[in-house]
Structure 1
Amino acid sequence: MARGHGRAGTVDPMTPEELNDQTQVLGKQVWRVIPYAKRYPKRLIAGFIGNACARIVDLVPFVAIGWAVDYFTSDIMAGPSIVQTAVNSINSDPAVGYGFLIFLGFAMLAVFQGISEYSWQTLGYKIQHDLRMDATRSLIDMEASYYDMRQTGQIMSVLSSDVNQLEDVVSDSSTSIIRIVFTFLTAFVILVSMSWKLAAVLFGPIIFIIPCVYWFSTRVQRKYRKQRESTGDIHAVLENLISGISVVQAYNAQNWEANRVNRESGSYRDQAMGASRDRNRFLPMIYVIAGIAFGLLVTAGGWLASTGDISTGELVTFLLISTRMTMPMFIFGILINQLQRGEAAARRVFAAIDLEPTITDSEDAVELSEGISSVEFHDVHFTYPNTTIKVLSGISFKAEGGDFLGVMGHTGAGKTTILKLLMRYYVPDSGDVLINGRSINDYTLDSVRDKIGFVSQEPFLFYGTVRDNVKYNQEATEEELEKA
Structure 2
Amino acid sequence: MTGIKRTFTYLQKYLLPTAGALLSLLLVNAANLVSPKLLQRLIDDGISDLNMDVVWGVVIALIGVAAVRGIFNFLQGYLGEVTSQGVAYELRNSIFEKLQNLSFSYHDRSHTGKLMTRMTSDVELVRMFLGSGLLHLVSAIFLLIGTIVMLFTLNWKLTLLVMLILPGVGLIFMIFVKKIMPMSRIVQQKLGTLNTILQENLAGMRIVKAFAREGYEIERYGTANIDLLDANISMIKLFTAFFPLVFFMGNIGMVIVIGMGGLLVINGTLTLGELVAFTGYLIYLLMPMFMMGMIGAMLSRAEASAQRLFDVLDAKSEVEDAPDAISLPKVEGRVELRDVRFRYIGAESDVVKDLSFVAEPGETIAILGQTGAGKSSIITLIPRFYDVSDGAVLIDGKDIREVTLDSLRSQIGIVLQETTLFTGTIRENIAYGRPEATLEEVTAVAQAAQAHEFILEQAEGYDTPVGERGVGLSGGQKQRIAIARALLLDPRILIMDDSTSSVDAETEYKIQQALEELQKGRTTFIIAQRISTVRSADKILLLDKGALAAEGTHKELQETSELYMEILETQFAGQED
Q: Same fold (TM over 0.5)?
A: yes
- Provide the C-alpha distance between the structure 2 equivalents of 1:171 and 1:369, rounded to a whole number of angstroms: 49
Q: Quote the residue 2:192 is aligned against.
A: 232
Q: Is the 8 A contact 1:212 1:282 kept in 2?
A: yes
Choose the corresponding residue for 2:405, options 415, 424, 445.
Answer: 445
* 1:35 and 2:9 aligned: yes
Q: Quote the residue 1:366 is aligned against.
A: 326
- Provide the C-alpha distance between the structure 1 equivalents of 2:424 and 2:292, rounded to a whole number of angstroms: 45
Q: Quote the residue 2:24 is aligned against.
A: 50
CA offset at residue 405 of structure 1? Answer: 1.5
* 1:70 and 2:44 aligned: yes
Q: Is the 8 A contact 1:378 1:395 kept in 2?
A: yes
- Provide the C-alpha distance between the structure 1 equivalents of 2:183 and 2:53, rounded to a whole number of angstroms: 60
| Partner SS state of residue 379, structure 1 | strand
Q: Quote the residue 1:115 is aligned against.
A: 75
CA offset at residue 309 of structure 1? Answer: 1.5
| Partner SS state of residue 378, structure 2 | helix
Superposition TM-score, scaled by structure 2 size: 0.74
Q: Quote the residue 2:477 is aligned against.
A: none
Residues 173-204 of structure 1: CA deviation (Å, up to 9, x unaligned): 11211221121222222222121122223333
| Partner SS state of residue 38, structure 1 | helix
CA offset at residue 373 of structure 1? Answer: 2.8
Q: Report the AA paired with residue 255 of structure 1.
A: G
Q: Report the AA paired with residue 321 of structure 2.
A: D
Instruction: Pick the structure with greater CA Rg.
Output: 2
| Partner SS state of residue 354, structure 2 | strand
| Partner SS state of residue 230, structure 2 | helix
Q: Quote the residue 2:455 is aligned against.
A: none
**Which stretch shifts more, 263-272 or 115-124?**
263-272
* 1:300 and 2:260 aligned: yes
CA offset at residue 478 of structure 1? Answer: 4.6
- Provide the C-alpha distance between the structure 2 equivalents of 1:117 and 1:246, rounded to a whole number of angstroms: 47
- Provide the C-alpha distance between the structure 2 equivalents of 1:129 and 1:63, rounded to a whole number of angstroms: 43
Q: Is the 8 A contact 2:337 2:355 kept in 1?
A: yes
- Provide the C-alpha distance between the structure 2 equivalents of 1:300 and 1:157, rounded to a whole number of angstroms: 54
Q: Quote the residue 1:166 is aligned against.
A: 126
- Provide the C-alpha distance between the structure 2 equivalents of 1:418 and 1:211, rounded to a whole number of angstroms: 61
Q: Quote the residue 1:23 is aligned against.
A: none
CA offset at residue 379 of structure 1? Answer: 2.5
Q: Is the 8 A contact 2:243 2:293 kept in 1?
A: yes
Superposed, which structure 2 residues align to 1:52-451 within 5 Å? 52-75=26-49, 93-451=53-411
CA offset at residue 76 of structure 1? Answer: 7.5
Count of aligned pairs between the two proteins: 444
Q: Report the AA paired with residue 439 of structure 1.
A: D
CA offset at residue 371 of structure 1? Answer: 1.8
CA offset at residue 479 of structure 1? Answer: 4.2
CA offset at residue 105 of structure 1? Answer: 0.7
Q: Report the AA paired with residue 353 of structure 1.
A: L
Q: Is the 8 A contact 1:372 1:451 kept in 2?
A: no
Q: Report the AA paired with residue 187 of structure 1.
A: T
Classify 1:466/1:293 alpha carbon distance in 2 versus 1 (closer, same or farther; 3 Å).
Answer: farther
CA offset at residue 303 of structure 1? Answer: 0.9
| Partner SS state of residue 93, structure 1 | helix
| Partner SS state of residue 359, structure 2 | strand
Choose the corresponding residue for 2:416, options 434, 451, 456.
Answer: 456
- Provide the C-alpha distance between the structure 1 equivalents of 2:271 and 2:426, rounded to a whole number of angstroms: 79
Residues 152-193 of structure 1: CA deviation (Å, up to 9, x unaligned): 101111111101110011011112112211212222222221
Q: Report the AA paired with residue 470 of structure 1.
A: I
Residues 393-415 of structure 1: CA deviation (Å, up to 9, x unaligned): 23222111111222223333322
Classify 1:244/1:325 alpha carbon distance in 2 versus 1 (closer, same or farther; 3 Å).
Answer: same
Q: Is the 8 A contact 2:193 2:224 kept in 1?
A: yes
Q: Quote the residue 2:515 is aligned against.
A: none
Q: Report the AA paired with residue 114 of structure 2.
A: Q
Superposition TM-score, scaled by structure 1 size: 0.87
Q: Quote the residue 2:556 is aligned against.
A: none
> What root-mean-square deviation, in Å, do the aligned CA atoms of Structure 1 and Structure 2 show?
1.9
CA offset at residue 73 of structure 1? Answer: 4.2
CA offset at residue 307 of structure 1? Answer: 1.4
| Partner SS state of residue 407, structure 1 | strand
Q: Quote the residue 1:21 is aligned against.
A: none
CA offset at residue 483 of structure 1? Answer: 4.5
| Partner SS state of residue 42, structure 2 | helix
- Provide the C-alpha distance between the structure 1 equivalents of 2:34 and 2:307, rounded to a whole number of angstroms: 41
Q: Is the 8 A contact 2:3 2:310 kept in 1?
A: yes
Choose the corresponding residue for 1:475, options 425, 430, 436.
Answer: 436
Structure (1/2) with the larger strand percentage: 2
- Provide the C-alpha distance between the structure 2 equivalents of 1:235 and 1:413, rounded to a whole number of angstroms: 34
CA offset at residue 71 of structure 1? Answer: 2.2
| Partner SS state of residue 364, structure 2 | coil
Q: Is the 8 A contact 2:331 2:395 kept in 1?
A: no
Q: Is the 8 A contact 2:318 2:386 kept in 1?
A: no
Shift >6 Å, 4+ stretches: none
Q: Is the 8 A contact 2:143 2:285 kept in 1?
A: yes
Q: Is the 8 A contact 1:384 1:390 kept in 2?
A: yes
| Partner SS state of residue 190, structure 1 | helix
Q: Report the AA paired with residue 19 of structure 2.
A: I
Residues 310-360 of structure 1: CA deviation (Å, up to 9, x unaligned): 211111111223234443221111111111111110110111111121212
Q: Is the 8 A contact 2:169 2:289 kept in 1?
A: no
Q: Report the AA paired with residue 29 of structure 2.
A: R
- Provide the C-alpha distance between the structure 1 equivalents of 2:55 and 2:378, rounded to a whole number of angstroms: 89
Q: Report the AA paired with residue 62 of structure 1.
A: P
CA offset at residue 250 of structure 1? Answer: 1.7
Q: Quote the residue 2:451 is aligned against.
A: none
Q: Is the 8 A contact 1:382 1:393 kept in 2?
A: yes
Which structure 1 residue ranges, 5 or more long, are not aligned? Answer: 1-26, 78-91
| Partner SS state of residue 93, structure 2 | helix
Higher RCO (C-alpha under 8 Å, 6+ residues apart):
1
Which structure 2 residue ranges, 5 or more long, are not aligned? Answer: 446-577
